[in-house]
Structures are given as C-alpha cells and as structure tokens.
Structure 1
Amino acid sequence: MALVPCQVLRVAILLSYCSILCNYKAIEMPSHQTYGGSWKFLTFIDLVIQAVFFGICVLTDLSSLLTRGSGNQEQERQLRKLISLRDWMLAVLAFPVGVFVVAVFWIIYAYDREMIYPKLLDNFIPGWLNHGMHTTVLPFILIEMRTSHHAYPSRSSGLAAICTFSVGYILWNSSP
C-alpha cells in the first residue's frame, strides 16, 4: 500500500494551489471590492477549478488506497463514480480552461503587457504569485495527463459542457 510518486505529486500540486489561492485572496486590491470581486477574473476561476480538480484527484487516490482489496461492491462503484468525475473534470474544465488562461495571458502579455497585466499590479501581486496563477497551471495539468490514465467523455457532451461554461462566464462578466 505504498504511495506512488504521482499520488504524492498530486498532493503537492493541491497544496500549491491552496497556497496560491490563499495568498491571492489575502491581497488588498480595489478590484476585489467590486461586484463579483475575484470571481470576475478567469484566472481566479481557473485556480479554483484546478484546486477542485486536484482535490478530487487526491480524494480518488485516497479512496482507491482505502478500498483496494476490500471486495465491497458499493465502495468500488462509488470509486468508479469518483474516477468518472475526475476524468470528466479534466477533459471539460481543468485542461481547456487552464490551457486557455496560460496561452491567452502570455500571448497578450508579450504583445502589450498593459492590456492584460498593468505594471500597477506589480505593487499588489508579487512575481512568484503571477507565475503561480499564469504559468504553473500548464505544466501541472500536463504532468497529470502523462502520469495517469483518463477516460474522456464523448466529444459532444464535452463540447456542450465547455460551451455552457464559456457562455456562463461571458454572461457573468457582462453583468454590471
């Protein structure tokens, strides 16, 4: 019943995201005091998605360690449901939103920094936190995809779910 390195890595990644979220929420920025606060920013929503996803990964790992060899059909059924949720969340939210946030942020940053991350933010957000929000997401999710087998949902249901998320985010951001 020894822990596999990818299981330990998932715990480390989850703790990393929790640290980034706590440090980000501790920052006193004027935009956090407006309607919607941090939830208006796709970067923050992505951090929450990644933290929840890796939390589900850790929960799945713990459940599989605890139910291994028990022979309990109900526990194994619940574990399969948890694995299905983990795989669905990776395919529909964690990977597409994470890659989008990283790619769009750094492309716009390279084109015109002031458009996406004004120098004024350097007074509030330290460089390590900026990279925690906009850089580490991609390697973490790619490591997860390479170290574990995932069963992906059908293309139509995956596209429907990510489109629903996208429309919801756009509607949420277009409100006052």
Structure 2
Amino acid sequence: MVATYNHTIPYYYYPGWEKIQLILFRLKKHFSVEKKMKNELKVLRTDSSGYVLGQLTSGRVKFLKICGCSLLVVRQWFYSLSFLHLVITALVTLSIDVTVDEDASVRAYHRIRWKLITCWFNLVALAYLPLCLYCDWCEKQEKEPPHVTKLRVVRDVIMTAILLPTTTFADITFWVTFLYDPSIIAPPRVFEYLPYWSQHSLHTVSMVTVIMDVLLTPRKRPETMNLHLGVMVGFGTAYTLMVYVSFLQGEPVYGFLSTASTTTFFSVYFIFLIALTISFYAQWLVIDYVWGSKKTRIKQIINQNKKFNVTKKSIFTIIITVIYLVLATYEFSTAYRYICISTSSYE
C-alpha cells in the first residue's frame, strides 16, 4: 500500500509519534498543535542532552504535542505518578517485618533486602524522578537557571548508564528465576510476606517506567560513550563488590550464591557486565529511531514528491522491536543458564 506523504506537516512535532504517524498515515493518525508558530523554526544549536533549540521563547519542548497535549505536561504527570507509586511501594514493602519468622535465613532477609539490586536501582529512581520534575519545572519558566543544563546531562547519564541497563537486567532476570524456582533468589518463605502486587510494582512497573522515559525524553547518542560506560561499569562493579563482601561474611545476597565458589562468583560478574553492556547499546537503537537527528526527520517529512511505503515502514518497526527483544532474551537466558549449571553442580 503506497501513500503520498504531505510535505506541509511541520517538523517540530514529537519525533517518536512522527514515525508512528508515518506508519498509520492512511488511518489519519496525526498530531495537533495548540497554536502554530508565527515564524519558521530556525535551529540554532543542539545542547548536550539532545534538545533541538530554536526560536522558542516559552521552552524547549513546549510546542511538542502528543494528541494535542503538551509533551512537557505529559512528562510532569508521568514523573509525578511514577514517584508517588514508588514511594507507596517502598513504604509498604519496607514496613513488612520478617524478623518474627522462625527461620534464621528469613530473618536475615531483613538486612539482605537493602543489598538486592532491586533496592539499589529503585533508590536511584527515587532520586532520579524528582530531578526530572525539577528540570521540567525549570523548563516551563520564562528564564531557567543556568545550572539546569548540567542537571539535564546528569539526568540523562543516570537513565542511560544506570537505570535502564540495570532495571531491564534485574526485572527480566527476576521473573525468569521467580517463575522457575524462587529459591534461586531468596528463601521461598520470604515471598509469603510480600503481597504479590508488590512484585509487579518492583519488577514490572519499574521496567515500564524506564522505557516510557526513553520514549518521552529527547536524547541523542553522545559523541563518545566513555562517560556512560564508565558510570555503568562503575555502578555494576560497586554493586558486585558489595555482594562479594557480603558473601565472604557468610551472608549471601542471593540463594544461588550460598554454595558458589569465587570463580563462579566472578564469572557471574562478567556475565552481569556483558548483559548491562548489551542493554546499554540496545537502548541507543531505540533512542536513535525515536529521537532521530533533525536532518533525518526533515528528509523523511519535508519532501513534496516522496512516496512512502507503509508496509516497509511497518516491517522496519517490527524488526527493530524484535532485535531488541532477542538481544534482551539472549543475554538473560545466558545468565540464567549459567546460574542453573552452577547451582546443580553443587547439589
């Protein structure tokens, strides 16, 4: 099916929805703007966080719309609800007292829960979400403080180098192991104290949150990945060292580590880093596709005689999604298979 694309559509729309609009062009799913800009958008520069800056007197993304609603407003509601949900989940789960159990391993979980990777990335998210709200609030002001630009860089590094790789790894690994054998993670009686919905709040909603953040926040691939990779490896190494110290002290953080050797432990560490790295680079495929460069967007959108094949674009979108899912499934299945082999060898 071939459709002629309308060259009159302005190119300052939300790029991710532009691509969806291209796919569903025949269904007339398109954006709306609250008001048209009086002057043509003249791009002056692009800052380090990936925003396209132009003659916008009211903010960087104030004119970006999703179904008629400001992207900035959507983000503020999204961050507010995510933060509120995370706070409520933390208050409920941390108030559960497992020290009354007769099993010593269950009582020890009262201390171990602070060492779980789920706890770590959720604590990072508790600091990240207010930071996002503050940056968006400053963006609505007529004149934002000069330090906000640096805060945006910090915000993007936290998301792309820590939250997204760690959250995707932890959540998928948790559900694979939890559905197969919960004892690999913790003593089974521990899960009797936790309401089932809390598992989804901690290991499902968290992954949805980071994915939505990637789709709603403009970013661009940095010229060099050294900073991001350094932060990611540093965070992963710091967490692994903490788990290893706890292991040496006779308090394994995860059930499968109770009989693991030092060699097995560090093998899991390298698998952990490989999994984080794959997730890290996979996210940039999505970011590049959703928040493509200005030149690419103009080439796709502003061309009067351009023909667009809906089927090919649909197939391309499916391929991108499948590649990401295959990479994620492969990395976590590899880690899980190694864990099963390690635990079975000590039985």
Q: Same fold (TM over 0.5)?
A: yes
Structure 1, residues 104-135: CA drift from partner, whole Å, max 9, x if none?
11121233232125431232110111111111
Q: Is residue 58 from structure 1 mapped to residue 133 from structure 2 by the alignment?
A: yes
- Which structure has the greater CA radius of gyration? 2
Rounded Cα–Cα distance in structure 2 between residues aligned with 1:94 and 1:44? 12
Looking at secondary structure, tell me which structure has more strand per residue: 2
Rounded Cα–Cα distance in structure 2 between residues aligned with 1:33 and 1:100? 24
Q: Which residue of 1 aligns with 2:276?
A: none
Distance 1:93 1:152, change over 3 A: farther
Q: Contact (CA 8 Å) 1:11, 1:58: kept in 2 or not?
A: yes
Q: Is residue 172 from structure 1 mapped to residue 249 from structure 2 by the alignment?
A: no
Q: Is residue 31 from structure 1 mapped to residue 101 from structure 2 by the alignment?
A: no
Q: With structure 2 as the length reference, what TM-score do the two structures score?
A: 0.45
Q: With structure 1 as the length reference, what TM-score do the two structures score?
A: 0.85
- Structure 1 segments of 4+ aligned residues over 4 angstroms from their partners: none
Q: Contact (CA 8 Å) 1:108, 1:116: kept in 2 or not?
A: yes
Rounded Cα–Cα distance in structure 2 between residues aligned with 1:112 and 1:90? 30
- Structure 1 range deviating more: 56-65 or 135-144: 56-65
Q: Contact (CA 8 Å) 1:92, 1:159: kept in 2 or not?
A: yes
Structure 1, residues 28-58: CA drift from partner, whole Å, max 9, x if none?
1223544xx4321111111111222112111
For 1:28, give the aligned amino acid.
D
Structure 1, residues 85-113: CA drift from partner, whole Å, max 9, x if none?
11111111111111111111112123323
Identity between Structure 1 and Structure 2 (%): 19
Q: Which residue of 1 aligns with 2:3?
A: none
For 2:142, give the aligned amino acid.
G
Q: Which residue of 1 aligns with 2:155?
A: 86
Matches within 5 A, 1:126-141: 126-141=195-210
Question: Highest relative contact order (Cα 8 Å, sep 6+), 1 or 2?
Answer: 1
Q: Contact (CA 8 Å) 1:92, 1:162: kept in 2 or not?
A: yes
The Cα of 1:150 is off from its aligned counterpart by 2.3
Q: Contact (CA 8 Å) 1:84, 1:151: kept in 2 or not?
A: no
Rounded Cα–Cα distance in structure 1 between residues aligned with 2:187 and 2:219? 38
Q: Classify the secondary structure of the residue corresponding to 1:94.
A: helix
Distance 1:78 1:151, change over 3 A: farther
Distance 1:28 1:17, change over 3 A: same
Q: Which residue of 1 aligns with 2:181?
A: 112
Rounded Cα–Cα distance in structure 1 between residues aligned with 2:148 and 2:157? 14
Give the aligned CA root-mean-square deviation in angstroms: 2.0
Q: Contact (CA 8 Å) 1:53, 1:89: kept in 2 or not?
A: yes
Extract unaligned runs of 5+ from structure 2: 1-57, 59-69, 99-106, 250-347
Q: Which residue of 1 aligns with 2:121?
A: 46
The Cα of 1:157 is off from its aligned counterpart by 1.8
The Cα of 1:4 is off from its aligned counterpart by 1.1
Extract unaligned runs of 5+ from structure 1: none
Q: Classify the secondary structure of the residue corresponding to 1:119.
A: coil
